[in-house]
Structure 1
Amino acid sequence: MNSQRTISGARRIGKRWRHDSNCKKKSIGAAHISLMEKEKMKFRDILHRVLDVIFFLARQNLVFRGHRENTSSLNKGNFLELVELLSHYDMVLKEHLFSLQQNADSQVICSYMSPETQNEFISLLTKHEIGKLVADIKNAKYFGILFDNTPDVSHADQMSTVIRYVHVSDGAVEVRESFLGFLHLKGKTATALTYLP
């Protein structure tokens, strides 16, 4: 009888221990998930601010980068200088820049400040805007295509592509002209111009 009480007591202790350890596992998992969600939101907030800076510079046709973008440079370029200026008024950017300075020696995975990241965002924005323009042009009843050929600084021929179209919205008629980009030419013959890349 004594041994049965000991066994049943051991079973109760074992069940309680298993229950407590499961609760701890769940709470550790929940805490980990909560931490991951906070990090996700933090980097989403940082990304929104960086994209706003990129939108602003692109809309104003301003240069993004400077000659020297290291920490000792007096002028790091419009992008980094504008992010730094906004960090004086925005705690999310301020904390992000502070953590980047603290971890300058280590490999930071996600800073959103590199020229490669800027170029990737600009490329994505360009594709999106050209898609919207092409959809608008396809809806137009009348359009015209303009090409102009000129050499660039390195004396390579390039052709600019411009589309002029009639946009009708709510009864208002507007003639729009949109620059779609440059095409690099292989030559000036009719065959080379016919088969553009």
Structure 2
Amino acid sequence: MDPFLKRKSPSTDETDLDDLSYDPFLNTSIDASRYLLRQGLPFCGHDETRDSSNQGNFLELLKYTSEQNEAVNKVILQNAPGNNQMVSHIIQKDIVNCFSEEVVNSIIQEIDNDVFALLVDESADCSKKEQMAIVFRFVDKHGIVKERFVGLVHVKETSSSSLKSGIDSLFAKYSLSLKKVRGQCYDGAGNMRGKLNGLRTLISRESSSAYYVHCFAHQLQLVVVAVAKKHLEVENFFDKIFVLVNVVVASCKRKDKMKEIHWDTIEKGVSSGEIKTGKGLNQESSLPRPGNTR
């Protein structure tokens, strides 16, 4: 084990707790992080003070683990040294980043230095930061086509040069080469598909075998939208849907009434056998505002 994971006792007068290794603290935090990541649950709580009734998923899971395991309870949280509890936000982020690195490295090992395709799209997150999502598409050693999400890269702007710089930094980090890229798949935006200075052109200059393909899902979406707008009945239908959603969402009473009608319809359908039941079916959902993509 890494010697830095061992806690050194400066004197023999200290308690036995100071002679313990970091293993119980670190392993418990790692197990809690693994569970929350697998379930897609948030780590932090609104109030993580000691007197809070709910300190968030991470700390509450640690407390539950300590209650079920007496050996763990003796060395974590309040029973651990004040500077060695392994529960700070910095520690949580470090553990999550380690999991992320392991996942990406496993994907690269699965590619096994073979050729692959590059799928890229950019979008702003809820904090208004522009991010670029990167996906690898490849054929594994068993002949199965796979698509693996590699990560998000923060970009200051969505120009083709900025996106190319972000891809270069990711490839350099994991010792990948653009020479291995055999396909590029983006949407139809000018910064992506531009023949002069688009992202596909910048990558093609370094890898002539990286052929560009306009995302078929995006093409289908554009075709459906264009065809729908040519029909007056369809256009009027979606206009009414847009007005209906605005009217319903603006009032809590209207939303509750619509949910009651929806559940009455589901109950009648289930009783008559027209609607199937099962895990993940017939869940309650909100009304998203209509758009070209939905």
Structure 2 length-normalised TM: 0.47
- Mapped to 2, the partners of 1:36 and 1:68 lie a distance apart of 29
For 1:69-108, what aligned pairs fall within 5 Å after superposition? Answer: 69-96=48-75, 97-100=77-80, 108=82
Give the equivalent residue in structure 1 for 2:91.
117
Judging changes above 3 Å, is the alpha-carbon distance between structure 1 residues 37 and 116 closer, same or farther for their aligned structure 2 residues? Answer: closer
Tell me by how many angstroms 1:86 deviates: 1.1
- Mapped to 1, the partners of 2:44 and 2:37 lie a distance apart of 12
Contact 2:122–2:158 under 8 Å retained in 1: no
* 1:144 corresponds to 2:117: yes
* 1:39 corresponds to 2:26: no
Give the equivalent residue in structure 2 for 1:24.
none
Q: Deviations over 1:95-127 (max 9, x none)?
A: 233425xx7xxxx12101111111111122222
Which amino acid is the alignment partner of residue 154 of structure 1?
S
Tell me by how many angstroms 1:193 deviates: 2.6
Give the equivalent residue in structure 1 for 2:104.
130
Q: Deviations over 1:30-65 (max 9, x none)?
A: x89xx589612xx31332222111111112221111
- Mapped to 2, the partners of 1:112 and 1:95 lie a distance apart of 14
Which amino acid is the alignment partner of residue 157 of structure 1?
E
Q: Deviations over 1:53-83 (max 9, x none)?
A: 1111112221111111111212111111111
Which amino acid is the alignment partner of residue 62 of structure 2?
V
- Mapped to 1, the partners of 2:108 and 2:102 lie a distance apart of 10
* 1:185 corresponds to 2:164: no
Q: Which runs of 5+ in 1 are unaligned?
A: 1-30
What is the percentage of aligned positions where both structures have the same residue?
27
Aligned residues: 153
1:174 to 120, 131, 144: 144
* 1:164 corresponds to 2:137: yes
- Mapped to 2, the partners of 1:48 and 1:145 lie a distance apart of 36
Which amino acid is the alignment partner of residue 128 of structure 1?
E
- Mapped to 1, the partners of 2:154 and 2:19 lie a distance apart of 46
Which amino acid is the alignment partner of residue 175 of structure 1?
V
- Mapped to 1, the partners of 2:18 and 2:54 lie a distance apart of 36
Structure 1 length-normalised TM: 0.67
Which amino acid is the alignment partner of residue 30 of structure 2?
L
- Mapped to 2, the partners of 1:113 and 1:132 lie a distance apart of 27
Which amino acid is the alignment partner of residue 94 of structure 1?
N
Which amino acid is the alignment partner of residue 39 of structure 1?
L
- Mapped to 1, the partners of 2:25 and 2:71 lie a distance apart of 7
Q: Of Structure 1 and Structure 2, which has the larger fraction of its residues in helix?
A: 1
Q: Of Structure 1 and Structure 2, which has the larger fraction of its residues in strand?
A: 1
SS at match of 2:139: strand
Q: Which runs of 5+ in 2 are unaligned?
A: 1-11, 170-294
Contact 2:117–2:136 under 8 Å retained in 1: yes
Give the equivalent residue in structure 2 for 1:14.
none
Larger radius of gyration: 1
List, as ranges, runs of 4+ consecutive aligned residues in structure 1 with deviation greater than 6 Å.
Answer: none
